[in-house]
Amino acid sequence: MIIAIGYYVISFLVSLISPFWGLVGFVCSLLLRFQDHFPQITAMKPFTLLLLGMILSCMINYKSLSKANWLQDKLLLFLFAISIIGLLLLAPGTLINEAYLFLCSLSLYYFASRILKTPQQFIILFLCMAASICYIGYIAIEDIAINGDKSIYIDQRSGRWQGLGYYKNSNEFGQLMITTIPFLIAILLVSKNILLKLFTFSMMALMVFIMIKCASRTVIITLALMIIGSFMLRGKGRLFKKMAIGGGIAGLMLVSLSFMPGHIQERMGTVLDANEDASFQGRTRSWGYGLDMLSWYPLTGVGKNQWQEYHGLAPHNSYIQIMAELGIFGIWIFLWLLMRSYSQTLIIFSNQSNSPPEESLNEVFSDTLNNTAANQDYHDSNLALAEKEIENSDGDCEKQQFIDNYSKTITIAILVTFSAWLFYIFLGNQGYSVWTYFYIGLCAAVKNYLPESITEKEVPLFSNENQV
């Protein structure tokens, strides 16, 4: 408990000095959730403390934050306004609490979009997140090794592994384990440091082991999509070739499923027989109730987080939940927000984003640890030099802007992580979760490190330019 208190105090103080390292401490605290292990800590309001630290940090270090403009800012404000109007009309008693919770989620978007300005910062952030997740996983393994089937980390009803507190659900605990997988894959692909590769692979192995023990069908499918997407999007060639790569990887994963424990194979087999699956039938009934709520209050919805006042079961679909609770305008703005985020990441597949020579992740990572700001200058100078060399090689050509291989790989990791989360919440209740808006912020932050001339010409979501 002393270590947990020390973590919060140090993270608060560090955030006042460095917004980036404050963000790392803040995000990792949301993963670690010491309050689930030590309930006494809730008295010091750890989330509020670190949130206050980040707000003060952004105020103190305002000049160092990104000054880019995003349509997402306005869309999120509209979404917030719609939620306020709905609550004022239908559930005024919950207005203050629900507004505060929504603002807490939106704050993660703001911090991510303004503070993360280099690909190297993304790598460091997600490595720290991965280490935090592995720490949680190690505690679970240790407790189960000591207490066996009586461990609090095992659901006594199903025998599946689970976490504590917020993660006391096999699906949520399994999803936690795979959160950082796309970034770890990115490190394995571009790093030349054997020790870093081994460390990264070890973390992935531990995460996947625990994820399998959680036996969540949704999470297993999400992980498969993560792996397929990471290699498909990184592969060269046009859409057909990428699909061939994805199909090959999918085939290998189906073969590997035959080596899984029997109960995993049985659970995955039920995916193909949804009509006989009681869990899926319960979800579809819940979705039907959501459509009923929309028909009752099409303009305002029933009010943010008021679902269970109208229906006893959880929505099991974040999109249905938002539609039922915020109405037609709410779901329209939410989907527009997601499409806008995609358009900012898909720019890396435009025809003008040819890559200059690859940059070593080793050198970048070591430089980032020493001085993040200096490393940004190093990154920019390398990119400018590559552009100058290309320009000099053909004097008749206009100067081109390029996305280097390192930045492209990190952007693909962001895109895959975001897509996997959106797939996961299709069967979950995380529409207002801080993680939804954190990932939207990650997509927005891509604009901070890609060449300005490229980000000004964002690629439409359904453009032929995406088929590189």
Return the DSSP state at 147.
Answer: H
Give me the DSSP letters along 159-224. Answer: --B--SGGG-SHHHHHHHHHTTHHHHHHHHHH---HHHHHHHHHHHHHHHHHHHHHT-HHHHHHHH
How many helices (H) and strands (E) the chain has is answered by 21, 0
pLDDT at residue 253 in the model: 57
Beta bridge partners of 154: 161
pTM equals 0.83
pLDDT for 445 beyond 80? yes
What ranges in 215-346 are assigned the alpha helix state H?
A: 217-234, 239-257, 262-269, 278-296, 307-310, 318-345
Task: Note the pLDDT tens digit of each residue in 278-304.
Answer: 666 777 788 888 899 999 999 989 999
pLDDT for 151 beyond 80? yes
* Chain CA centroid to CA 366, Å: 25
pLDDT cut 70: percent of the chain above it = 75
Structure tokens at 68: 């880019």
pLDDT for 105 beyond 60? yes
Distance separating alpha carbons of residues 181 and 126, to the nearest angstrom: 9
Distance separating alpha carbons of residues 395 and 353, to the nearest angstrom: 19
Task: Note the pLDDT tens digit of each residue in 193-230.
Answer: 899 999 999 999 999 999 999 988 889 889 988 888 88
5-to-9, 21, 49, 279 alpha-carbon distances in Å: 6, 18, 11, 40
Task: Note the pLDDT tens digit of each residue in 25-66.
Answer: 999 999 999 988 888 888 888 999 999 999 999 999 999 999
